[in-house]
């Protein structure tokens, strides 16, 4: 069986393991004060073109989301998210567990727009009987494979500023977004247009690791306390620093993501050629083709993937995810199988 189930089925990019080996016996300070972490932070500041930014490394997406949100919001404030947003759909109430409502918006494509936020503000007007919306949470790429265009992000950004709302981008799959064929954003844009965003490592070549960036350091001057309090400050912070150093050296991060996208697009094109529609217009490493149930069963004998949801009595959307580690030979084999399968 070959798995297209997710983008964390393998270990780490070999460069990372190699570097862990090489640096293993260097004695380093703990808790993120090691030389690798400090160097990785400087490197990222360069990449985002924001020397003032403040950066921290965490272990995973849920951890990052919950600590950032809990740190920034006051007790009566809430965060707005697409209903498909990871903080609402996949994190076991992590945000509510810190005391804050996630206000959800139904969307067609997993993306929030100014009109969505306006509508929420209107619905949450009856102070003090309602929570105060204070943050907008978006994912790029989204949980269903779509990405934000620069103009869309700029509009959201301007609106949030005008309403005194934080704009926070979940970048668990940021590499995939920024290397998509239809992308026109770069890291510096994100630093200019959001209040905070994170650069996901776990789903793009690291063993674990997300880099949260506060674009204005005055925003979270005591975030270190929050990290420690929520169990996110690794004694051996070097483990995270070393990985981000490797990922951003020679832009490995982007070439890994580009590979993942290419593999997904290759399958996507094959699907289209076979005449299969897709649930969402993904240009990244998650695709949601709609297949006859019989085809799904047969593919499932050789390949692992999620059956996302039934579309009608005879068809369902499946989710295929590729990654930095996806073997192109397996992708080609999958496509050959697809082409020859009969319902």
Q: Are 73 and 79 in contact (CB under 8 A)?
A: yes
Closer CB to its own copies, 228 or 339, in the complex: 228
Residues in contact with its own copies, shown as a per-residue x/- string from 97 to 126 under the rule CB under 8 A: xxxxxx-----------------------x
Torsional sign, CA 149, 153, 158, 162: positive
Q: Which of residues 62-91 bind its own copies (CB under 8 A)?
A: 62-67, 70-71, 74-76, 78, 89-91
CB of 218: closest distance to its own copies in angstroms? Answer: 14
Closer CB to its own copies, 69 or 265, in the complex: 69
Q: Are 169 and 142 in contact (CB under 8 A)?
A: no
Task: Work out whether 228 is an interface residue with its own copies (CB under 8 A).
Answer: yes
CB of 81: closest distance to its own copies in angstroms? Answer: 13
Helix pair 150-163, 114-123: axis angle to 10 deg: 30
User: Burial of 201 by CB count in 10 Å (0-12 exposed, 13-18 middle, 19+ buried)?
Assistant: buried
Closer CB to its own copies, 159 or 223, in the complex: 223
Task: Work out whether 229 is an interface residue with its own copies (CB under 8 A).
Answer: yes
According to DSSP H, which parts of 102-203 are helical?
114-123, 150-163, 174-178, 187-193
Span of 94-102, 250-258, 260-268, 334-342 interacting with its own copies by CB under 8 A: 94-102
Task: Work out whether 203 is an interface residue with its own copies (CB under 8 A).
Answer: yes
CB of 254: closest distance to its own copies in angstroms? Answer: 21
Distance from C-alpha of 174 to C-alpha of 244, rounded to nearest angstrom:
14
Taking CB under 8 A as the criterion, the residue among 122, 125, 162, 222 binding its own copies is 222
Distance from C-alpha of 59 to C-alpha of 43, rounded to nearest angstrom:
19
Peptide bond preceding 63: is omega within 30 degrees of 0, i.e. cis? no
Distance from C-alpha of 267 to C-alpha of 296, rounded to nearest angstrom:
14
Q: Which of residues 7-36 bind its own copies (CB under 8 A)?
A: 8-12, 14, 17, 20-21, 23-30
Task: Work out whether 218 is an interface residue with its own copies (CB under 8 A).
Answer: no
Closer CB to its own copies, 39 or 152, in the complex: 39
Taking CB under 8 A as the criterion, the residue among 33, 93, 151, 181 binding its own copies is 93
Residue with token string 């490995």: 252
Q: Which of residues 256-315 bind its own copies (CB under 8 A)?
A: none
Q: Buried b / exposed e across 44-53, counting CB within 10 Å, b at 16+?
A: bbebbebeeb
CB of 79: closest distance to its own copies in angstroms? Answer: 11
Q: Which of residues 131-150 bind its own copies (CB under 8 A)?
A: 131-132
CB of 107: closest distance to its own copies in angstroms? Answer: 16
Q: Which residues contact 201 (CB under 8 A, 6 or more apart)?
A: 208, 209, 210, 211, 240, 243, 244, 247, 253
Give the H/E segment covering residue 238: helix 238-248
Q: CB-side exposure of 283: number of CA atoms within 13 Å?
A: 15
CB of 235: closest distance to its own copies in angstroms? Answer: 4
Between the alpha carbon of residue 225 and those of residues 36, 57, 229, the distances in Å are 21, 13, 6
Q: Which of residues 231-250 bind its own copies (CB under 8 A)?
A: 231-236, 238-239
CB of 100: closest distance to its own copies in angstroms? Answer: 6
Span of 39-47, 177-185, 223-231, 333-341 interacting with its own copies by CB under 8 A: 223-231
CB of 217: closest distance to its own copies in angstroms? Answer: 16
Coil, strand or helix at 142: coil
Closer CB to its own copies, 155 or 255, in the complex: 255
Closer CB to its own copies, 6 or 155, in the complex: 6
Between the alpha carbon of residue 30 and those of residues 142, 154, 233, 238, 249, the distances in Å are 34, 39, 9, 8, 23
């Amino acid at each position: 069986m070959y798995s297209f189930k997710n983008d964390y089925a393998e270990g780490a990019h070999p460069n990372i393991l190699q570097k862990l080996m090489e640096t293993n016996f260097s004695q380093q300070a703990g808790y993120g004060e090691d030389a690798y972490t400090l160097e990785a932070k400087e490197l990222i500041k360069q990449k985002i073109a924001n020397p003032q930014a403040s950066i921290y490394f965490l272990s995973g997406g849920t951890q990052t989301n919950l600590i950032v949100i809990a740190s920034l919001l006051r007790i009566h404030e809430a965060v707005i998210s697409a209903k498909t947003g990871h903080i609402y759909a996949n994190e076991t109430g992590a945000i509510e567990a810190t005391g804050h409502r996630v206000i959800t918006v139904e969307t067609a494509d997993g993306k929030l727009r100014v009109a969505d936020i306006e509508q929420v503000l209107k619905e949450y007007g009856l102070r003090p009987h309602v929570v105060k919306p204070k943050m907008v949470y978006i994912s790029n790429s989204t949980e269903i494979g779509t990405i934000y265009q620069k103009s869309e992000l700029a509009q959201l950004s301007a609106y949030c500023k005008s309403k005194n709302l934080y704009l926070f981008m979940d970048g668990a799959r940021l590499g995939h977004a920024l290397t998509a064929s239809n992308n026109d954003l770069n890291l510096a844009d994100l630093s200019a247009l959001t209040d905070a965003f994170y650069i996901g490592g776990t789903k793009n070549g690291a063993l674990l690791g997300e880099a949260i960036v506060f674009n204005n350091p005055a925003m979270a001057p005591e975030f270190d306390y929050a990290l420690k309090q929520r169990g996110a400050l690794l004694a051996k912070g070097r483990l995270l620093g070393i990985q981000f150093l490797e990922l951003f050296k020679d832009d490995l991060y982007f070439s890994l993501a580009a590979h993942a996208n290419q593999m997904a697009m290759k399958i996507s094109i094959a699907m289209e050629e076979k005449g299969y529609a897709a649930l969402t217009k993904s240009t990244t490493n998650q695709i949601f083709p709609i297949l006859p149930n019989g085809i799904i069963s047969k593919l499932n004998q050789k390949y692992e993937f999620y059956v996302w949801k039934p579309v009608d009595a005879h068809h369902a959307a499946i989710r295929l995810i590729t990654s930095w580690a996806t073997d192109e030979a397996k992708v080609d084999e999958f496509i050959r199988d697809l082409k020859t399968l009969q319902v």
